[in-house]
């Protein structure tokens, strides 16, 4: 038992059907006789005032300093079971035992006994965590980009009481919004274009004393982490270093290059214009052609010009449809006799934009559902008309407007791309690229540890090669200077749960650099990013983790005495939290760390651990399970379940009273990326008949809260065959299941199907040894 946990106490809850389904006396025997726990108490409802008072009394008397609560899931009642900063170790008897298994059965009791054994063992391997903030932290927020999004972000930060440094590379603020004649409606009744208020916004920002504006400035270097970023700025040939706590990137977008759309007539006729170019022609007077300044009486808008096209932009920019409606309405308002057509494949007007669409219909704008094929030099538009079911060519047009898409400004065209050395290629465009492309596979007993060569690193195309220009922040990280981004240039994040996050802690994106959006959406997006930036600053000052383990005070500790300098922790960390010293030893930047444990799972020599999550602790939990011999005909299946999706799904299965095999034993893990193959091999040697890694969805539309944990686990498991072969075991004994938090209904099929597979193979020959 860890000498820092001198007095554990076990508290058994009988509420929510637990007492009626299993024997609490039998559990008390496990705690008292098997583990010699000095304090073990039963109570009908531990979460009630009396139950909590029972635990608090033992803590106050000094009888207990580490409570172990065997009751409901650790995902609920966290406030109730945290005592003076000491969280209780939890054994999940409710959701994953009595609610998922038949009451009174021997196997149900055995399951409960094992979960208590594992909880006691977990407590023995846990050291109380202590915050370790270092020095002074800056509370200034750097906002990069002085367009509409950046201006709103700066103002939102100032309104919360934070100092702001607003950096814009152009000599004036406002960005693209300076060019708009009018804007999309964002106020009721949402039916007409609204006045452009960018000048008023600029005036407000410039008058705000908490905001320092730097125009004509570039970020040339960024070092440090949350609370302690050192940002080098270049302005008018001189440099300065600013100390900031967090960075919000609001660099916006640029239109897709219409020179690539010759097949749509661009460059063949001056009266084929883009929506951006049309804004400059929209005045209070009737629209005029660029070719001869004559009125443009007949105008066609071509939607998805170069968008949703694998040869150009594969995605939808969403805003283009509304912008074309706005411009069509402006034309009709200045010249009611004009004929305006909108050719669309799919018109996207979500929410209040539907009112805008109806207003355009009432005004006489004609909407044609079809797919454009070509635009000729004489302004003939050929398209496949869906309603008519045939190809149609519309002639006699005065102007054709191409609704081009939005491209994120995720790189800086004014800075040369960085040299693509091996160290800068460790983060791929696709975070789920097989690990074998970046590093040689290391055998399980770490007899040979080989760092990646430049050729191996270059096997994956770097993001800087996919996009023009240099890095926005020029991060001085081992993992490279860019903010990791998706193949289309948008910043990489967990789109559903943490949309503002980047894979660089303390750096947040908002507005069109994150995803296509209009000015009103971007304003709200900016406020969200600022709130996350504030959370990051305050968390760093307390030494606490950010999303998704918000408030966690633990951090990975690296034993350099046994470190082999293999660089796997540096390479596999999804967030760039590990740097290297002059001797190539890993150095943790604590404020960047998200506490996922991927470094722990990557380490082949088990020299990385957390105070409350370590290889030895999990190995002890594996060993704590009672594995029946083969004559009992009770297989044992060990599930390493990701705490973010899989474990909640298991809880929800219990909540819905879905029953599944009682032969499984679940160990929650922070991320599947934290699971080394050693745990799998140890469990098999212990006599477990099967091992399942249950985690989040991987791939291009990943759901992993730590970005690439599931992909890393899948890659590691692909190499398990040699280990199983050396143990003379079948490959089918180890599997991986991708379960989202919404997949609780599929839990019984997944688990029972695997148990059936194991029963068909036969019992593990290691049983009984």
pLDDT (0 to 100) of residue 494: 74
Per DSSP, the residues of 251-278 read: --EEE--GGG-GGGTTTT-TTEEEHHHH
- 753 in the same domain as 619: yes
Instruction: State the CATH number of the domain containing residue 230.
Output: 3.50.50.60
- 355 in the same domain as 298: yes
- 431 in the same domain as 331: no
User: Residue 700 carries which DSSP code?
Assistant: T
- Domain ranges, residue 295: 256-404
218 part of a folded domain? yes
**How many alpha carbons lie under 13 Å from residue 136 in its C-beta half-sphere?**
5
Domain boundary residue, one of 62, 91, 124: 124
Strand partners, 214: 167
567 part of a folded domain? no
Sequence length of the chain is 769
List Cα–Cα distances, 196 to 110, 179, 188, 208, 222, in angstroms: 69, 9, 16, 21, 35
- 193 in the same domain as 72: no
User: Residue 342 carries which DSSP code?
Assistant: E
Residue numbers in the chain where pLDDT is lower than 70: 1-6, 85, 414-468, 768-769
Per DSSP, the residues of 71-124 read: ES-TTS-TTTTEETTEEPEEEE-IIIIITTS-TT-HHHHHHHHHHHHHHHHHHH
Domain boundary residue, one of 478, 509, 542: 542
443 part of a folded domain? no
- 275 in the same domain as 242: no
- 745 in the same domain as 692: yes
131 part of a folded domain? no
Domain boundary residue, one of 124, 158, 189: 124
pLDDT (0 to 100) of residue 6: 64
**How many alpha carbons lie under 13 Å from residue 374 in its C-beta half-sphere?**
8
Instruction: State the CATH number of the domain containing residue 48.
Output: 3.40.50
pLDDT (0 to 100) of residue 467: 58
221 part of a folded domain? yes
- 374 in the same domain as 343: yes
- 769 in the same domain as 622: yes
Per the structure, how many domains does the chain have? 4
491 part of a folded domain? yes
**pTM, entire model:** 0.89
670 part of a folded domain? yes
pLDDT digits (tens, 9 = 90+) for 501-520: 899 999 999 999 999 999 99
pLDDT digits (tens, 9 = 90+) for 97-146: 999 999 999 999 999 999 999 999 999 999 888 877 777 899 999 999 99
- 187 in the same domain as 160: yes
711 part of a folded domain? yes
- 268 in the same domain as 235: no
- 398 in the same domain as 508: no
- 348 in the same domain as 317: yes
List Cα–Cα distances, 763 to 628, 684, 748, 750, 758, in angstroms: 11, 11, 21, 19, 7
């Amino acid at each position: 038992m860890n000498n820092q946990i001198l007095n554990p106490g076990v508290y058994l809850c009988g509420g929510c059907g637990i007492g009626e389904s299993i024997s609490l006396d039998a559990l008390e025997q496990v705690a008292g006789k098997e583990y010699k726990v000095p304090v073990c108490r039963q109570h009908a409802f531990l979460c009630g005032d009396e139950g909590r008072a029972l635990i608090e009394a033992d803590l106050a008397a000094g009888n207990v300093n580490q409570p172990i609560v065997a009751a409901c899931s650790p995902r609920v009642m966290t406030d109730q079971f945290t005592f003076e900063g000491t969280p209780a170790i939890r054994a999940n008897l409710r959701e994953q035992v009595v609610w998922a298994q038949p009451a009174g059965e021997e196997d149900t009791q055995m399951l409960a006994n094992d979960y208590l054994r594992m909880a006691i063992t977990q407590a023995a391997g846990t050291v109380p965590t202590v915050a370790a903030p270092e020095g002074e932290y800056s509370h200034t927020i750097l906002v990069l980009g002085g367009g509409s999004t950046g201006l709103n972000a700066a103002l939102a930060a100032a309104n919360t009481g934070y100092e702001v440094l607003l950096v814009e590379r152009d000599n004036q603020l406002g960005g693209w919004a300076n060019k708009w004649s009018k804007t999309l409606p964002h106020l009721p009744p949402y039916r007409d274009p609204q006045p452009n208020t960018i000048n008023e916004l600029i005036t407000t920002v410039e008058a705000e004393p908490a905001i320092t504006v730097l125009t004509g400035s570039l970020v040339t270097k960024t070092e440090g982490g949350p609370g302690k970023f050192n940002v080098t700025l270049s302005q008018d040939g001189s440099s300065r270093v600013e100390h900031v706590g967090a960075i919000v990137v609001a660099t916006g977008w640029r239109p897709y290059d219409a020179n690539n759309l010759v097949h749509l007539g661009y460059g063949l006729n001056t009266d084929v214009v883009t929506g951006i170019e049309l804004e400059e022609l929209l005045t209070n007077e009737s629209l005029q052609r660029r070719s001869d300044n004559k009125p443009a009486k007949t105008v066609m808008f071509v939607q998805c010009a170069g968008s949703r096209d694998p040869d150009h932009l594969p995605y939808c920019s969403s805003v283009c449809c509304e912008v074309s409606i706005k411009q069509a309405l402006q034309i009709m308002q200045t010249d009611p006799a004009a004929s305006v057509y909108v050719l669309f494949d799919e018109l996207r007007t979500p929410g209040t934009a539907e009112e805008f669409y109806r207003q355009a219909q009432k005004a006489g704008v004609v909407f044609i559902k079809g797919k454009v094929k070509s635009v000729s030099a004489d302004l003939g538009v050929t398209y496949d008309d869906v309603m008519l079911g045939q190809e149609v060519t519309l002639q006699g047009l005065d102007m054709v407007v191409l609704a081009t898409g939005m491209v994120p400004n995720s790189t800086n065209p004014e800075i040369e791309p960085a040299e693509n050395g091996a160290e800068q290629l460790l983060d791929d465009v696709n975070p789920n690229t097989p690990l074998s492309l970046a590093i040689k596979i290391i055998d399980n007993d770490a007899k040979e540890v080989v760092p990646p060569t430049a050729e191996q690193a270059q096997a994956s195309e770097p993001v800087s090669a996919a996009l023009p220009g240099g890095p926005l922040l020029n991060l001085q990280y081992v993992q490279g200077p860019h903010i990791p981004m998706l193949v289309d240039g948008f910043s990489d994040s967990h789109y559903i749960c943490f949309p503002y996050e980047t894979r660089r802690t303390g750096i947040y994106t908002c507005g069109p650099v994150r995803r296509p959006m209009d000015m009103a959406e971007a304003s709200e997006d900016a406020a969200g990013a600022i709130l996350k930036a504030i959370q990051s600053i305050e968390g760093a000052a307390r030494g606490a983790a950010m999303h998704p383990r918000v408030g966690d005070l633990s951090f990975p500790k690296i034993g350099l005495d046994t470190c082999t300098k293999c660089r796997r922790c540096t390479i596999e960390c999804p967030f760039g939290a590990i740097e290297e010293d002059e001797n190539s030893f890993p150095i943790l930047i604590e404020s960047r760390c998200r506490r996922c444990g991927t470094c722990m799972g990557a380490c082949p020599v088990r020299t990385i651990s957390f105070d409350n999550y370590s290889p030895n602790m999990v190995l002890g939990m594996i060993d704590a399970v009672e594995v029946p011999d083969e004559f009992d005909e009770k297989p044992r299946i060990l599930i390493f379940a990701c705490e973010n999706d899989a474990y909640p799904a298991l809880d929800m299965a219990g909540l819905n009273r879905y029953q599944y095999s009682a032969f499984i034993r679940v160990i929650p893990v922070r991320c599947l990326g934290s699971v080394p193959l050693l745990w799998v091999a140890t469990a098999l040697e212990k006599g477990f008949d099967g091992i399942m890694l249950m985690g989040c969805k991987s791939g291009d539309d990943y759901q992993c809260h730590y970005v690439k944990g599931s992909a890393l686990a899948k890659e590691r498991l692909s190499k398990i065959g040699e280990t199983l072969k050396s143990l003379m075991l079948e490959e089918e004994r180890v599997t991986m299941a991708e379960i989202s938090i919404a997949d609780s209904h599929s839990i019984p099929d997944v688990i029972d199907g695997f148990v059936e597979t194991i029963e068909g193979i036969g019992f593990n020959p290691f049983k009984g040894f």
